[in-house]
Structure 1
Amino acid sequence: MAAAPTTPEARPEPKLGLRERKKIQTRQAIRRAAYRLFKEQGYDATPVDQIAAAADISPSTVFRYFPTKEDIVLTDEYDALMEAALRARPPGEAPLESIRQSILTPLRQVFEGEWEEMIERTRLLQEVPALRARSNESMAESGRVLAGVLCERTGRPAGDIEVEVLVGAVFGAFEAALMHWARNGHQEDLITLMEQALDVLGRGLTL
């Protein structure tokens, strides 16, 4: 039997500290309360003080974690997870593969516990113009985080245009897959759609 081809192993991903885990738990509690209220009475009809009461915290605590109501929907834990995953990828790995795995690996973990929240999030993005307007800003910030790490890994200067184009293309593919999933009633497997979208980039944008 032929030996299986070897691939570089990723380093173990660093674990988040207790303080960061508690912050994540608080943000998740706020988000769950908000999504429940948004679904029951609509996004525009739900003030932040109701969200705070439903999460059993003060409005000031909500604003400490989410400066605006839009941020409750658009801000998540993915950036920290993706950054940690990217830093843990094997040295010398192709940049596109590193970015691909740094996005897909954390999302597989997140979807296991937050599937319904992801469905609600994409529904809101489709229905609320204010959220759609802010979502591009949020996606751009996520891209800047990963582009900075990728510049470090490849020895390129911060703000390198080729790195920014690569990361921007990956996030564009990611967003296209997410919106396709939402438009089609969340019936398809989201991870498979994302893999297909990133495959297009891997082929050099050929069909």
Structure 2
Amino acid sequence: MNMNLPNILTILRLLAAPGVVIMFLYFNRPWADWFALVLFVTAALTDFLDGYLARAWKQESKLGAMLDPIADKAMVVIALLVITGFSGMNPWILLPATLIMFREVFVSGLREFLGDTAGTLKVTPLAKWKTTAQMVAIALLFATGAFEHYFGMQSIGMSQQIVTDVLARRIPDELGLIWKYQGMIISWWAGITVLWLAGVLTLVTGWDYFRKAQPYLKDAR
């Protein structure tokens, strides 16, 4: 195996995928949210870096070509499972997450079935945008979890009317509830919007792969 720097970065990204779950197993929130966010963003940045270095240094290899899409899928699927769990199975997250995971399983199965002809299903620019949208959405939703925890913890003991008055600036905001609430709302809607965009791109690219594979799925006559 060619263990150059691009491949090492890819392997580290693959190992970071289950690391997101570990953050929530061994740390309390909001630290788990922040640690998972930093780990996920750092790993996502290596997705660009390893490919760039491999091309720039002419170190592209079969190992890297094999591990890169696996690392991307592992990161996205595991992070979506975590987010779906702590969101309480919110349908705004559950539906696009289901579409994304279904597509990843479908395309992986399609590649496995095609075997040597799987090269016909090369990663397209639109698929790369799909992956980018997924990672941006997941990072935003991890941030939402952190803001939500801070807001919830610091508003404990307050009546709903007091919280409403603070957010409406009718009484002083001594605990910084306003910026935490705004961070929670902005990151939530931004994350949901990008996640649904990723869901749409997921369907489009999945259909494109299926269309390209159709000639190899016909029975001989």
TM over 0.5: no
Normalising by structure 2, report the TM-score.
Answer: 0.30
Q: Structure 1 length normalisation: TM-score? A: 0.32
Q: Which has the higher helix share?
A: 2
> Which has the greater radius of gyration?
2
